[in-house]
Amino acid sequence: MPAPVITATGLTKHYGDLVAVAGIDLEVAPGESFGLLGPNGAGKSTTMRMIGAVSTRTGGDLQVLGLDPDTHGPEIRSQLGVVPQEDNLDTELRVRDNLIVYGRYFGIPRAVCARRADELLAFAQLEDKARSKVDDLSGGMKRRLTIARALVNEPRVLMLDEPTTGLDPQARHVLWDRLFRLKERGTTLVLTTHYMDEAEQLCDRLVVVDQGRIMAEGSPAQLIREHSSREVVELRFGSQRNQAAAERIAGLGDRIETLPDRVLVYAADGEAVVEQVSRLGLHPTTSLVRRSSLEDVFLRLTGRSLIE
Amino acid sequence: MSVEQTTRDDATLAALAGAVRPRRFGALYVAEHQLRAMRAYGWTIVIGGLGQPLLYLLGLGLGLASFLDAPVGFGPDGPVPYVTFVAPALLVTATISVTTEEFTYTVMSGFKWRRVFWGMNASPLAPGQVATGLVLAVAVRMAFVAVAYTALIAAFGAVGHLWSVAVLPLLGLLGGMAFGLPLLAYSAGLRDDAGQFAAVQRFVFTPMFLFSGTFYPLATLPTWLHWIGWVSPLWHASELGRAVSYAQPMSGATVAVHLGVLVALAAGGWVLARRVFVGRMHG
Amino acid sequence: MSAPTLTAAVTGAGGVRALYRGNARAVLGRGLLAARSSTWVVVVSGFFEPVFFLLAMGVGLGTYIGDVTLPSGRAIAYAAYIAPALLAVSAMNGAVYDSTWNVFFKMHFGKLYQAMMATSLGPLDVALGEIGYALLRGVVYATGFLTVMQVMGLNLSWTAVLTLPAVLLIAFGFASLGMAITSYMSTFQQMDWIQFVLLPMFLFSATFFPLTVYPEPIQWLIQALPLWHAVELIRGLTTGELTGGTAGHVAYYLAMAAVGVVVTTRRLRSLFLD
Ligand SMILES: Nc1ncnc2c1ncn2[C@@H]1O[C@H](COP(=O)(O)OP(=O)(O)O)[C@@H](O)[C@H]1O
Ligand SMILES: [Mg+2]
């Protein structure tokens, strides 16, 4: 069994009195695609920065590629590709030069950087933008360029902090496709997200993080199985009446969640629940049966929804 | 659990090998990048670097000088031309004003506007190397300014001893860093520019330029203003420049004090600046 | 000189309504609000800079210079000679800063003007509003500096009171021309070039010493540039030496302001409305 790429035990990070990461344990195997799923402020970025050896941990143990970030920061960073939450492309350089200049920080010879830059532009589907200014790229293109830049040192681990936040649906799908290819090539991916669909698409395994702690761990399917039912019925009775309706349908399905705008009924068979509701003489404005998702897992674990 | 005890797999070995060059040359990579970025305003640097000294030497050194009733500067053999008196101070002012741009807005840009320092931070480069690289690049720009200024000073015949042109640029560099490195430490700690840089320019740089014995000896000012000169890198460097240029009388102890203050400011600023970079990038 | 009729002359009557909605006040008001929340040091420094120069150069260096003889033959203290020049320079610097850097930033980074154009404001409202704000600031600083001059005994004639309207005129000239020039700029580097014009004007426009040091052709060149006219105009007013030249300086600035407004208007039209 190959050694894990990342091992954290009891990892904590304090900013003054604020506890951003409150003791987390995790292990990432080579070639794995690992996700941290959690709402804003959960401590995902902080964890990513500690793994990326740019933030000194307050406590706990952390090994990346068998090395301690406190003493071997440059060594660790030489093998990582980092896609930060906020783009930091060099807007004074053109697209291709961004890749070359970045490669130089790794001590890679200029000629090698240039060759890789061309390959990576092709991979990121940005060949015809090679000479463009960064500011002229769309949000999705900038993100792909940042990913290309993170690959210039041929990293063993690619760290992506909310790679698709703020992108439109089409741009997200293009990006997912690129990341999927990397995954197929065996690159280890560590990514954070607060989108369930993204986690479901890209992650072999993930941890659900809230308030600096890990709430659950497993593959997306496993988590859904363990913490939710097969299907969910979403009922909307109008914002004034949800509470009252929820009380009347109590007992239906495995479990009921009342949100301000809708009532969720967890059940193995959603259609059956819809029928039972109408038999009770209730007529929701809309009713929708869908498969259970990680959103439901999160709601179950924390009592809050993921995106407020 | 130390690394040495576990068997190192190839990933660990690759990591150890991958950081060798960045650890050694990282600061140079950063300097290279910063100098490339300066090319965007290369012409401004060149025209400003040559034009500004020309204008000041003409305007103050020659134009204003013809209206002076009394001599201002004295060498061992009596009065020296006014332009000779002001030239060293103007030179140091020029190197210092490089830092009011490069150690302020450029730093804010690296951390906040263009955010390139964060990109560097995710690479094997260390925060201290980012700071060093930035300083190296600015030193190159400063050296250009200092050499151009010195050449014009020589062309104006505004030096006492011609050999002093070999030393004047170095004093310019030292004076520039003595002001610039503490400024760098300050700028690197700022999260946002809410007018602080403009305040530095107008309430630190301008008064220093005007009241540091630049246009006439510090003693001309009322005594209660002399402290401005004492804390001013511009004054210390200018005085040394005058001693070098036309042998303005100065005791060995005074030379040592001037040099000591400049080196202390530069070294203190440097240590502080690196610490701020590390704290901010690896906090 | 009312702006609508002026633009009518430039753009044809049909275009005026699109350019000017008579609401420059709204833009000016925004400027004042923004100034309130901006850092006070920056606002205050506009007052201190010329005072620092006056103390260092006028008083300090003055000890080596003694009196300066005016063309009329009258000799005045060096501080009284450069103080009006510093006032003119600060009017220039303030107006140029407000109409170049400030406008450039809002145009290219703040995207403030795009937002303003999406309202019922026209480009000329914006231009006049910004210029008006620059003028207001300039007059406040000038009042402060004049007070300092009065305390130091550097106002040699009652006509010094007239420097306030003169500063307004000078600032208007520089602001409108500065804005016209800025509308052609697209990069920071180009903005730096403005500095290269300001510095020689500052050093050579009879600010620190009379023009007589120069050979005649250079004197002519300096006399063609705006700052010299400003310096002479204000110096005439604070020393009370009014001549036929005074009217000439005023005429110079009226012409400069007119050109500035006309060009700015045309440019704003093509930048925002075409
Ligand atoms: N540099 C910092 N200084 C102080 N507090 C911070 C810093 N970075 C993050 N935090 C705080 O730590 C918590 C976790 O933040 P973060 O890791 O960015 O969360 P996430 O990426 O999951 O949204 C938040 O409360 C945030 O405000
Ligand atoms: Mg985050």
Quick: pLDDT tens for B136-176.
999 999 999 999 999 999 999 999 888 999 999 999 999 99
Interface of A with B (CB under 8 A): 2-3, 5, 30, 52, 54-56, 61, 63, 65-68, 72-80, 82, 84, 86-93, 101-102, 104-107, 149, 153, 156
Q: State the pLDDT confidence band at C244, using cuts at 50, 70 and 90.
A: confident
Task: Give the model's pLDDT for residue B8.
Answer: 63
Task: For chain B, say whether C206 makes contact (Cβ under 8 Å).
Answer: no
pLDDT over 90 (residue C44): no
Two structure tokens written together for B135: 């300083």
The pLDDT of A179-201, averaged and rounded, is 89
Q: Do C171 and C134 form a contact (C-beta atoms < 8 A)?
A: yes
How confident is the prediction for chain A on average, in pLDDT?
A: 90
pLDDT over 90 (residue C229): yes
The pLDDT of A5-34, averaged and rounded, is 95
Residue with the two structure tokens 């799923």? A37
pLDDT over 60 (residue C24): yes
Q: Do B133 and B26 form a contact (C-beta atoms < 8 A)?
A: yes
Distances A291 to A234, A260, A304, B223 between C-alpha atoms, Å: 11, 21, 19, 83
Q: Do C64 and B86 form a contact (C-beta atoms < 8 A)?
A: no
> Using one digit for the tens of pLDDT, what is the confidence trace for C151-192?
999 999 999 999 999 999 999 999 999 989 988 888 777 777
pLDDT over 90 (residue B2): no
pLDDT over 50 (residue C12): no
Burial of A226 (0-12, 13-18, 19+ CB in 10 A): exposed
Ligand 2 geometric centre to CA of B155 (Å): 59
Q: State the pLDDT confidence band at C110, using cuts at 50, 70 and 90.
A: low
> Using one digit for the tens of pLDDT, what is the confidence trace for A130-174?
999 998 999 999 999 999 999 999 999 999 999 988 888 888 898
Residue of B nearest to A1 (CA): B9
pLDDT over 60 (residue C261): yes
Task: For chain B, say whether C193 makes contact (Cβ under 8 Å).
Answer: yes
Chain A residues inside the 8 Å CB shell of B119: 88-90, 102, 105, 149
* The amino acid at B132: T
The pLDDT of A250-259, averaged and rounded, is 86
What atom in ligand 1 is closest to the CA of residue A13?
12
- At A154 the three-state DSSP class reads coil
For residue A193, list its beta bridge partners: A37
> Using one digit for the tens of pLDDT, what is the confidence trace for A192-215?
988 888 888 899 999 999 999 999
pLDDT over 70 (residue C81): yes
Two structure tokens written together for B207: 């008064």
Percent of the residues in chain B that have a pLDDT greater than 90, as a whole number: 76
Ligand 1 geometric centre to CA of A47 (Å): 9
Helix (H) or strand (E) holding B217: none
Percent of the residues in chain A that have a pLDDT greater than 90, as a whole number: 58
Q: Which residue's C-alpha comes closest to atom 11 of ligand 1?
A: A20
> Using one digit for the tens of pLDDT, what is the confidence trace for B171-207?
999 999 999 999 999 999 999 888 889 889 889 999 9
Distances A252 to A233, A239, A248, A264, A274 between C-alpha atoms, Å: 11, 21, 9, 11, 10
In this prediction, the answer to ipTM > 0.90 reads no
Top residue of B113, B210, B223 to mutate, by most chain C CBs within 10 Å, is B210
Q: Do A124 and A65 form a contact (C-beta atoms < 8 A)?
A: no
Q: Number of C-alpha atoms within 13 angstroms, CB side, residue A217?
A: 8
Q: Which of A43-52, A267-276, B100-109, C129-138 has the lowest mean pLDDT?
A: C129-138
Higher pLDDT, B4 or B104: B104
Higher pLDDT, B196 or A28: A28
pLDDT over 90 (residue C1): no
Two structure tokens written together for A8: 């954290």
The residues spanned by each domain of chain C are 3-272
pLDDT over 50 (residue C13): no
How confident is the prediction for chain B on average, in pLDDT?
A: 92
pLDDT over 80 (residue B86): yes
Task: Give the model's pLDDT for residue B176.
Answer: 98
Q: State the pLDDT confidence band at C3, using cuts at 50, 70 and 90.
A: very low
Q: Do A77 and A22 form a contact (C-beta atoms < 8 A)?
A: no
Q: Which residue's C-alpha comes closest to atom 12 of ligand 1?
A: A20
The pLDDT of A223-233, averaged and rounded, is 88
How far apart CA B246 and CA B248 sit, in angstroms, is 6
Burial of C72 (0-12, 13-18, 19+ CB in 10 A): exposed
Q: Which residue's C-alpha comes closest to atom 25 of ligand 1?
A: A41
Task: Give the model's pLDDT for residue A307.
Answer: 57
In the 8-state DSSP scheme, what is residue A134? G
Q: Do A144 and A124 form a contact (C-beta atoms < 8 A)?
A: yes
Q: State the pLDDT confidence band at B1, using cuts at 50, 70 and 90.
A: very low
Q: State the pLDDT confidence band at C17, using cuts at 50, 70 and 90.
A: low
The pLDDT of B256-280, averaged and rounded, is 97
Ligand 2 geometric centre to CA of A55 (Å): 14
Residue with the two structure tokens 């404001």? C121
Q: State the pLDDT confidence band at B4, using cuts at 50, 70 and 90.
A: very low
pLDDT over 80 (residue C92): yes
Residue A289's nearest CA partner among A272, A308, A306, A307 is A272
> Using one digit for the tens of pLDDT, what is the confidence trace for A79-137?
999 999 888 998 888 999 999 999 999 999 999 999 999 999 999 999 999 999 998 99
Ligand 1 geometric centre to CA of A43 (Å): 6
Q: State the pLDDT confidence band at B135, using cuts at 50, 70 and 90.
A: very high
> What's the per-residue H, E or C state across A161-222?
ECCCCCCCHHHHHHHHHHHHHHHHCCCEEEEEECCHHHHHHHCCEEEEEECCEEEEEECHHH
Residue C183's nearest CA partner among C91, C88, C274 is C274
Task: Give the model's pLDDT for residue B3.
Answer: 43
pLDDT over 70 (residue A253): yes
Distances A161 to A37, A51, A99 between C-alpha atoms, Å: 11, 12, 19
How far apart CA C124 and CA C268 sit, in angstroms, is 8
Task: Give the model's pLDDT for residue C273.
Answer: 66
Alpha helices in chain A (DSSP H): 44-51, 69-77, 95-104, 110-123, 139-150, 169-184, 196-202, 220-227, 242-248, 270-279, 294-302
Q: State the pLDDT confidence band at B6, using cuts at 50, 70 and 90.
A: very low
The pLDDT of B36-56, averaged and rounded, is 85
φ, ψ (nearest 5 deg) of residue B196: -65, -40
Q: Which residues contact B39 (CB under 8 A, 6 or more apart)?
A: none
Domains, chain A: 6-218 (3.40.50.300), 229-291 (3.30.70)
Provide the whole-model pTM.
Answer: 0.87
Residue B93's nearest CA partner among B11, B214, B195 is B214
| Ligand 1 proximal residues by C-beta, below 6 Å | A 15, 18, 20, 38, 40-46
Higher pLDDT, B25 or C127: B25
